[in-house]
Structure 1
Amino acid sequence: MKTIHIAAAAVAAVAIAAGGFFAGQRSVAPDRHADAPVAPAAQGERKVLYWHDPMVPGPRFDKPGKSPFMDMQLVPVYADEQAEAGVKVSPGVQQNLGIRTAAATRAQVASSFDAIGTVQFDERLAQAVQTRVNGYVERLLVRAPMETVRRGQPMATIYAPDWLGPLNEYLALKRAGVADDVLAAARERMRAMSIPDSLVRQSEQHGTARARFTVAAPIGGVVAELGVREGVAVTAGTTLFRIAGLERVWAVAEVPEVQAVRLQRGQKVKAALQADASQAFEGELKEILPQVNAATRTLQARFEVANKGGRLTPGLLLRLQVAGPASSRLVVPAEAVIRTGTRAVAIVRKGNGTFEPREITLGAELGDQLEVVQGLQEGEQVVASGQFLVDSEARLKSVLGGMAAAGQAATAASAPAAGTFTARGTVESIEPDGITISHGPVPELKWPAMTMGFSTPGPKAFPGLKAGDSVQFEFRRGGPMGWELVAVRPEGGGK
């Protein structure tokens, strides 16, 4: 049981010391004796500024003695320690509390992000198959949209009676043995009418005009559009088929504008099927469409993805990991940052063994690390122990409030539970949230003469009061500082 009390006292010591630093920075003004010039000390001697209780560091005493708060002697504060900001924690207490620190380091971080893209046909690979003559579709070999076709695969047979006249004329000239330039002119005329050379050769081989020709697929892919049916009449310029290539596809993603501004054409992307992450693909950013969705504040980014084996089809979802350029950033563990709604604070361990709060400016969240834009230097040690942090939106308020509450609890151990108390003293300073008074002993609380801060009922309480006034005052337990003024009555002139 004795060991438990010792450990609890150690925890309270650190909590109260830290709470005194955070909550007492404004609540307790410097003692008037501490502001006086330090008299030259003899060589080898240390000048004592004041005495205090380390477990309740706010009140300051003019002479040594027993602490009114704890069963211990007051501890001196020397002049050479005055410049040391922060809270000191002994190595033993640090070990007992499990205080763990981590260094602020620089890391090469790529500005990457994830997005979900929808697969679409790459319109740059699409080709239209048209007829350049009036005729009829005698036979249709591809009968449904979205059928897969190979390059050179027959798709339809067209009968073109308008080609019979030019072909018969050419064959007659050839049989008549006319000059070569006349035959060349006849061939040029047939080319102008879009008669295929293969059809001319067939007519020459058989000796009769051939007006039926087969339409083949110019590329491999799928039939995205089927414009005719078997037996229908077609005219010059009719689109028979539209074929979409499958060598590459587009993945179109909605990218928030805050991320879109960092995108650049040519950035590499790794893609995986949303339904099966084991199927991975490579691609790159081709275009950011110049249009913002006003409702979602996003832009459409078009990524070109290699379609291995034609496994990607329109409508599939891809998880895209966009890799940005790498840059050196200062990072700290995420657990080392105490966040409120408006601020971010880190507890920094200084070279002299003290701990001090440091307000920092955060950048990007990088997994279990956070980028620090301002407030820390590379190599500085920050407290990353879970005992110092509370994982909620009110981390800072919870931690500081708990430390202040621990300090008030230690004071309450030797004070009556309730009541109003009277004392006389001199006003040292007046703040919007409190008044610092150097007062005489308070027998009811077993307090010696000391300087301490008192909360006020409001910022406009006790008008006309100024520093240096001798006052008689009444106070009670309560307020942010632990003790609150009830009434203040001036007794004499100022200093």
Structure 2
Amino acid sequence: MRRKLKNSILYLLALLVVITLGACSHDETEHAGGDTEYTCPMHPQIVQNEPGTCPICGMDLVPKSGHGTEIEITEDLAFLLRPTNSTVVSSVATTKPQEKTVQATVQMEGIITYDPRRIYTVPARVGGRIEKLYVKYNFQSIRKGQKLMEVYSPELITAQKELVYLAQSAPEDKQLIEAAKQKLRLLGATDAQITRLLRTGEESYTFALYSPYDGYVIGLNTAAPSATPSTAAGAAVSAGGGMGAMGGGNGAGAGASASPTPTAAAEAIQLREGMYVSTGQPLLRVVNPNQLWAEFNVPTAQVSALAKGAPVQVTFPQLPGERLEASVDFLQPFYEEGESFAKVRVYLPGQQKLAMVGQLVTARASYTTDPALWVPKAAVLDMGTRSVAFKKVNGVFEPVPVTAGITEGNQIQVVEGLQQNDVVAANAQFLVDSESFIKVNK
């Protein structure tokens, strides 16, 4: 009996001790519960006052231990605690940007066209009627001294009669006679016609126009004639380049002016026998194709690299083995509306039998770049809206935005974003799988 009583007393004492210790532990937990902090095991920089998940990796937060020494985050350790989508750990070849000048080329596409300095208009110097027309269709070949047309003009007849009268009635008045000759010259008559008029003493009721240049006619009768015969359209069709001109030759010219037009775009000229022309009206437009040029389109970013005199090598797609050495002669100082490229003109040397007007050609213009940083072309990754290079920082690759310039061969120019002492991945394509989660710092 005594043994049972003794065991019961010991049991009650042990139970009392357990209850007392549990109460103390519960009090300590409640007392410290308000100061408990929770953190992420993988990202210690994440600290909250209540349970939850890590905003970076999604792991459950655990209570932060209050025991031990607080770890100081040094600069060497800081890069390990950065977000995982800001760096890439990879073992790839690296390179450094090099500052140098490069002999670069510009690829250009263009077309063969005329030299606009060789386009001339033949206007009518007097009004009258076309009695005989010898040039009747477009692109008709013309030789120097060839008769173009015969024109009846009352004004020319009056001027001839004045000269004949002065020569017969007052041969001693040289000044008046010379003035009458000059009037005929200004109306388009040649010295040969004036000499013949003084020798025969008979006026000519029709005057002939002669061409002093070789070439062919453009923009003639390319549309239906006007319903009113007394008027004619007064300009020439576009030819796009330089050409020769027609003017007064060794015969009577009722209108040969050597005034080149800056552009060759206008309405078609209509000429018919019997139609009337007025003073100053364009009669013909003639082109001399002996000198041609090529007109190329150059992207905006490369226009500033070209200068007058830069060497150009012109190639013909139809004749892959043929090349012409030329140079840049003219840079158009403005852009056409709605276009993002400028025009560059290159004169083709000599009379080129290879080149034909309207023919498509390609060219390469060479120039030397200004000193700049250059890296392998593969080191810059084009992401569509921006270009990125992977710079090595503390053993890992960090994406940095760069501004890329021109490309020459397997090298690309870096305008900004890198320094000469930076180390970058030589081939950014190796990191293209990582690029999908890489966050580029702006």
The two structures have a TM-score, normalised by structure 1, of 0.49
Give the match for residue 142 of structure 1: 135
1:28-107 matches, within 5 Å, as 35=71, 100-107=93-100
Q: Structure 1 residue 287 and structure 2 residue 332: aligned? A: yes
> Of 350, 361, 368, which residue of structure 1 is paired with 2:410?
368
Give the match for residue 244 of structure 1: 287
Shift of the 335–153 alpha-carbon distance from structure 1 to 2, 3 Å rule, reads: same
Give 3-state SS (helix, strand or coil) of 2:430's partner: coil
The alpha-carbon deviation at position 146 of structure 1 amounts to 2.1
CA distance in 2, matches of 1:399, 1:161: 86
Q: Structure 1 residue 396 and structure 2 residue 396: aligned? A: no
1:19-418 matches, within 5 Å, as 35=71, 100-109=93-102, 113-150=106-143, 152-160=144-152, 162=154, 163-176=156-169, 177-226=171-220, 227-230=270-273, 232-246=275-289, 247-249=291-293, 251=295, 253=297, 262=304, 266=308, 268=310, 270=312, 271-277=314-320, 278-280=322-324, 281-293=326-338, 298-299=340-341, 301=343, 303=345, 305-306=347-348, 308-309=350-351, 312-321=355-364, 326-337=369-380, 344-346=388-390, 348=392, 355-360=395-400, 361-366=402-407, 367-374=409-416, 376-378=418-420, 382-384=424-426, 389-390=429-430, 394-397=432-435
Matching residue's letter, 1:334: K
Could you list the runs of 5+ residues in structure 2 that have no partner in the other structure? 1-40, 46-67, 82-87, 221-269
Could you list the runs of 5+ residues in structure 1 that have no partner in the other structure? 1-25, 39-48, 51-57, 60-85, 90-98, 401-495
The two structures have a TM-score, normalised by structure 2, of 0.54
Structure 1 or 2: larger strand share? 1
CA distance in 2, matches of 1:355, 1:339: 23
The alpha-carbon deviation at position 170 of structure 1 amounts to 2.4
The alpha-carbon deviation at position 111 of structure 1 amounts to 7.3
CA distance in 1, matches of 2:285, 2:207: 19
The alpha-carbon deviation at position 327 of structure 1 amounts to 0.9
The alpha-carbon deviation at position 103 of structure 1 amounts to 4.2
Shift of the 331–288 alpha-carbon distance from structure 1 to 2, 3 Å rule, reads: same
Residue pair 1:202, 1:210 contacting (<8 A) in 2 also: no
Identity score, percent: 18
Q: Deviations over 1:144-195 (max 9, x none)?
A: 2123445x34141314353344324423433443432332343244345443
CA distance in 2, matches of 1:284, 1:290: 17
Matching residue's letter, 1:240: L
Give the match for residue 444 of structure 1: none
Shift of the 398–169 alpha-carbon distance from structure 1 to 2, 3 Å rule, reads: closer
Matching residue's letter, 2:390: A
Q: Deviations over 1:435-492 (max 9, x none)?
A: xxxxxxxxxxxxxxxxxxxxxxxxxxxxxxxxxxxxxxxxxxxxxxxxxxxxxxxxxx
Q: Deviations over 1:37-92 (max 9, x none)?
A: 99xxxxxxxxxx99xxxxxxx89xxxxxxxxxxxxxxxxxxxxxxxxxx9898xxx
CA distance in 2, matches of 1:87, 1:33: 30
Shift of the 112–164 alpha-carbon distance from structure 1 to 2, 3 Å rule, reads: same
CA distance in 1, matches of 2:276, 2:110: 42
Shift of the 267–359 alpha-carbon distance from structure 1 to 2, 3 Å rule, reads: farther
The alpha-carbon deviation at position 134 of structure 1 amounts to 4.1
Shift of the 264–364 alpha-carbon distance from structure 1 to 2, 3 Å rule, reads: closer
Q: Deviations over 1:350-382 (max 9, x none)?
A: 9xxx84425442412513112234454436665
**Higher RCO (C-alpha 8 Å, min separation 6):** 2
CA distance in 1, matches of 2:411, 2:42: 34
Matching residue's letter, 2:217: V
CA distance in 2, matches of 1:304, 1:195: 39
Larger Rg: 2
Give 3-state SS (helix, strand or coil) of 1:309's partner: coil
Matching residue's letter, 1:396: S
Shift of the 130–287 alpha-carbon distance from structure 1 to 2, 3 Å rule, reads: same
Shift of the 131–376 alpha-carbon distance from structure 1 to 2, 3 Å rule, reads: closer
Residue pair 2:296, 2:345 contacting (<8 A) in 1 also: yes
Shift of the 118–33 alpha-carbon distance from structure 1 to 2, 3 Å rule, reads: farther
Q: RMSD between aligned alpha carbons?
A: 4.7
Matching residue's letter, 1:126: I
Residue pair 1:289, 1:300 contacting (<8 A) in 2 also: yes
Matched pairs, number: 311
Residue pair 1:120, 1:249 contacting (<8 A) in 2 also: yes
Give 3-state SS (helix, strand or coil) of 1:171's partner: helix
Give 3-state SS (helix, strand or coil) of 2:351's partner: helix
The alpha-carbon deviation at position 330 of structure 1 amounts to 0.9
